[in-house]
Structure 1
Amino acid sequence: MKIFTVQQLAEADKVTIEKQGITSEELMERAAGLVFKEIHARLNNESVPIKIICGIGNNGGDGLVVGRLLIEHGYYVSIYVVNFTKERSRDFLSNYNKIKEIGAPWPTLLKGAEDFPELHPKDFVIDAIFGIGLNRPPEGWVADLIHYINASGAFILSIDMPSGLFSTKTPEPGDAVIKANYTLTFQAPKLVYYLPKTAEFVGNYQVLNIGLDYEYLAAAPAEAQLIDKEEAKNLYIPRKNFSHKGDYGHSMIIGGSYGKIGSISLSAKAALRTGAGLVTIYSPECGYEILQSILPEAMVIIDEGEKELKNIQFEPEPDVICFGMGAGISAATVKTFESLLKKTKSPMVIDADGLNMLSNNKGFLKLIPKNSVLTPHPKELERLLGEWKDDFDKLAKAKEFTNKYEVILVIKDAHSITVSGDNLYINNTGNPGMATAGAGDVLAGVITSLISQKYEPLIAAVFATYLHGKAGDIAASKLSYQGMIAGDIVDNIGAAFLDLFKNDDRGME
């Protein structure tokens, strides 16, 4: 699913109005009508106090339409207008007058803190103060009103965007932003729904298709792509009946050190579970018996170092090399990593201590094979890119980094984001139970496996991140967030593949 900028959505509104021969007010009625239908379907005329707090722009106009429709269907509704300026949008004014036409009480004007409505934990509050076009933080008594709403304990539903939340920057500490329980947004989700410092304000969300012009949206370049089940299906490459293990590539997993052999075993097992034809683990001598015992499906090559990697040598070269898990950053290991970078031509997957070595030796960055995949968690990313001002600055720096070094970044987080050049791919699977030791090692193995199976590295990174998250979701459904360990993610990779085509006539072919 495409994610668009505010400017693109505004243009889509204009194109839709022109091509469909409707007015902006009719488009507002359509959009707000869908919000009403969602609320009505859930409340089903339940006797709950509904308090709608409207701004004086088009988001407020949406709130007025929703209020009118709720009143017409017998709900107990109080409408309040945040009267912070004399300016009003045309569609707001039109819908303001329609409240009077149905015989309902006119909305109460809020002019300061003394006018704040009484709010209680059992209230249902609809936030329609500011929309997606907000460009400066609320101030004065309006900011106080937002803080007051948040503190009420009421259930808060925001229309399109929680009021006070920007679409292009992160709020500063103390800024007034509605913390919604639920957000109903129009046509497409917004980038801020998935970023660490902004997602918390959105709560759960639902996208309402308001019928904006399809041709315009199809042609418009996306600010980002949201990767969910339908998108992941299109990335899957079916297997042929007449094939053998050589058709699915040779993955090599290099890493480990004394006491940290488990990490490479997780990566290797994940690579096998994802379908790599052959997997070789390259390990210090101390890992030999462990690896041969716990993972008989993998081949094992031993480095001359007993407890650390000292001199990586192997033949022939595999289709893809995954490096770094549990490797440590000793001088000998750093030296042999540099040698590996110089002689390896195929794309690599670099994780964990491999990333730490790159951060500590920035000259290594220019040695990374093109189209390699780097998989940092937030701290590893910061060491690679330097500090950032906010999540938007982080993404800008990540784009610059991938353009400069011609690599792919998978920024691991609640919604992991794959960055390639100026393109962003946001993963929509995964859960808090995956915040556990070894989960990143599993992801590195899944990416490696897909590359060995001839997926393009970018596709492999995007698809692997989806599968990894879905395997975690399936594991959590059985074990709880707290009960999960990284091995459970590996054990459910097969189920994640099966889920792609569940209830789909195509099957996995």
Structure 2
Amino acid sequence: MKLLGLSHIKEADRLTVKNQKITFLDLMERAGLAVFNTIHERLQGAQVPIHVFCGLGNNGGDGLVIARHLVEHGYNVTTYIVNFSTNRSEAFLVNYDRLKAIDNEWPIQLKGEEDIPTVSSNDMVIDAIFGIGLNRQMEPWVKKLISYINASNVFVLSIDVPSGLYAEKSPEDETAVIYSNVCLTFQAPKLIFFLPETAKYAQDVDFVDIGLDTGYLNEVDTKMDLILKNEVLKLYRPREKFSHKGTYGHTLLIGGSKGKIGSMLLASKACLRVGAGLVSALIPECGYHVIQTGIPEVMVVDHDNDDYLEDFKFELDPSVICIGMGLGMHKKTILAFAKFLKENTKPLVIDADAINILSENSELLDYIPRQTVLTPHAKELERLIGVWNDDFEKLEKVKLFSKKYDCILIIKGANSITVYHDEIYVNTTGNPGMATAGAGDVLAGMISGLISQGYGALQASIFGVYMHGSAGDIAVNGLGYQALLASDIVDKIGPAYLELFKQPEQPVNA
């Protein structure tokens, strides 16, 4: 599913009006009616006091349409106009007059702090003050209105975006943004609903179809995609009846050091669970018995040094190499890693300490193969690309890094984002229980196992991140967030495959 930016939304509106031979007012009426229908379906006429706060632009116009339909259907509605400017959009003015024509009490004008109304925690607020096109500084008294609404513990439903939230940058003042319980956003998801700094302003987001031009929506290349089950199903590569283990490649995992062999065990097992035909682990001698007894299906390439790896020699011919889990930062390990990079010709997945080595020895980045996958956690990413001021700057820095080294970076988090050049893929699976030691090792193993089977590096990253989150979602059932272990995620990779092909349950006829 495509994520739409501000320019895409404006163009979709323009083409909808043009191609469907309607006016912008018709489109606004359609949007407001769609939101009203959603509200009406949930409230079913309940007489909860509803406060509709409308700005002076098109978002305010949407609010006026919604308020009019609520009044016409007998709801207990009070509408307020937030007069933060002398300018009003044409659509606002038309819908203002339409509301006045059917409402005996004209909308209440708010012009300053002294006009801020009282709302009760048992009421409902519809927030239509500012829309996705917000590009101005907010008046101090409007900030106080927003702060009051946030502090009132009232149920807030925002229209399109929570007011005060910009479309393509983080807010400067967190107190000047509505915290909504539900946001009904038009037609398609927006990136701001999936970034840590901006997603928190909407507890729940629902998409309202307002009939925007389907030709444009199908053809536009936004370079931003939301990854749901349907997108992942398109990537899936079914197994052939007459295939064998060699058909699905041979993954070599390199890592481990004394006290950190568990990371290699998790990554190796995840690699097998996701479907790699053969898996070998190159580890120091201290991990030999751990791997051999913990995962008998994995072949071990061990070296004489007992505590850490000081060379990465191997005679096998792997399909892909995954390196870094528990590797450590010993001086001899770093030298061996540098030598390996300069000689390697195989596809790479780079994780953990291998990323830290690259961060401290940036000249080695010139030796990573094209479309190498890097899976840093937040601090590793910071060491790699430098500090950032907000999530949007972080994304731009990651894009620049990806283009410079022609690599794929995964920004791990609640909605992990896979980045390749200017393309971003936002994941929708996963849960807070996955913030646990070893979960990243599992992800690295899964992605390398998918590449081993013939998936392209980008496809393996998108697919792997989704399946990793799906396995975590399945595993957390019956355990709770606090009790989830990385090994639980590995154990649920199989059920995650089954879930991928599970058909939605059909309603039972009465």
Counterpart-to-counterpart distance in 1, 2:333 and 2:47: 68
In structure 1, C-alpha distance between the alignment counterparts of 2:344 and 2:7, rounded to whole Å: 44
Contact 2:253/2:264 (8 A) holds in 1: yes
Q: In the TM superposition, what is the alpha-carbon distance from 1:175 to its structure 2 partner? A: 4.9
Distance 1:168 1:399 in 2: 16
Shift of 1:477: 2.2
Do the aligned partners of 2:112 and 2:141 also contact (CA within 8 Å) in 1? yes
Q: Paired residue for 1:441?
A: 441
Name the SS of the counterpart of 1:182 in structure 2: strand
1:34 aligned residue: 34
Counterpart-to-counterpart distance in 1, 2:29 and 2:500: 36
| 1:96 to 1:254, Cα distance in 2 relative to 1, 3 A | same
Match of 2:261 in 1: 261
Shift of 1:47: 2.2
Q: Which runs of 5+ in 2 are unaligned?
A: 506-510
Provide structure 1 residue ranges, at least 5 long, that are not aligned to the other structure.
none
Tell me by how many angstroms 1:474 deviates: 1.0
Displacement of 1:194 in angstroms is 1.0
Conserved 8 A contact 2:71-2:103? no
The answer (yes or no) to whether the contact 1:137–1:164 under 8 Å persists in 2 is no
State the partner residue of 2:55.
Answer: 55
For residues 239-293 of structure 1, the C-alpha deviation after alignment (integer angstroms, 9 at most, x for no partner) is 1111100000101111111111110100011011100000111111000111111
**1:318-376 CA-partner distances (Å, limit 9, x unpaired):** 00111111111010111111121112112111111111001011111111111110001
CA distance in 2, matches of 1:381, 1:139: 37
2:395 equivalent to 1:413: no
| Paired residue secondary structure (1:197) | helix
- Taking only the aligned residue pairs, the percentage that are identical comes to 54
Any idea what SS the aligned residue of 2:176 has? coil
> What is the SS of the residue equivalent to 1:131?
coil
Name the structure 2 match of 1:129: 129
Q: Secondary structure at the match of 1:446?
A: helix
Equivalence for 1:328: 328
Query: Which residue does the alignment assign to 2:508?
Result: none
Could you tell me the TM-score, scaled by structure 2's length?
A: 0.97
Partners of 2:193 and 2:403 lie apart in 1 by 25
CA pair 488-95 structure 1, distance change in 2 beyond 3 A? same
Moved over 4 A (4+): none
- CA deviation digits over 1:53-83, x for unaligned, max 9? 1101110111111111112222111111101
Q: Which amino acid aligns with 1:344?
A: N
2: CA distance, partners of 1:138 / 1:255: 53
> Deviations 1:468-499 (Å, cap 9, x if unpaired)?
01111111223211121111111111111111
Match of 1:138 in 2: 138
Residue correspondences, number: 505
DSSP-derived class of the 2:317 partner: coil
Aligned to 1:94: 94
- Partners of 2:372 and 2:355 in 1: how far apart? 12
In structure 2, the residue corresponding to 1:86 is in which secondary structure? coil
1:15-414 to 2 correspondence within 5 Å? 15-414=15-414
Aligned residues of 2:134 and 2:166 also touching (Cα < 8 A): yes
With normalisation by structure 1, the TM-score equals 0.97
Check the 8 A contact 2:84/2:139 in 1, yes or no: no
Question: Cα distance, 1:504 vs. partner?
Answer: 7.1
Over residues 105-126 of structure 1, what are the superposed CA-to-partner deviations in whole Å (9 max), with x where a residue is unaligned?
Answer: 2110100111111011111111
Please tell me the residue identity of whatever aligns with 1:129: I
Amino acid of the residue matched to residue 329 of structure 2?
I
Q: How large is the RMSD of aligned CA atoms in angstroms?
A: 1.2
Contact 2:33 2:66 in 1 (8 A): yes
Write the distance in 2 (CA, Å) between the matches of 1:333 and 1:103. Answer: 76
Cα 1:463–1:39 change in 2 (3 A) is same
* In structure 2, distance between residues paired with 1:317 and 1:343: 14
Distance 2:263 2:9 in 1: 45
Contact kept? 1:326, 1:353, Cα under 8 Å: yes
Instruction: Determine the C-alpha separation between the residues in 1 that align with 2:477 and 2:92.
Output: 45
Q: Given residue 412 of structure 2, which amino acid in structure 1 is its aligned partner?
A: K
Contact 1:137 1:175 in 2 (8 A): no
Shift of 1:174: 4.5
Structure 1: distance between partners of 2:173 and 2:256: 41
Cα deviation code 1:427-457 (max 9, x no counterpart): 1111101000000000001100000000000
Tell me which residue corresponds to 1:466: 466
CA distance in 1, matches of 2:428, 2:329: 33
- Range that drifts further, 127-136 or 92-101: 92-101
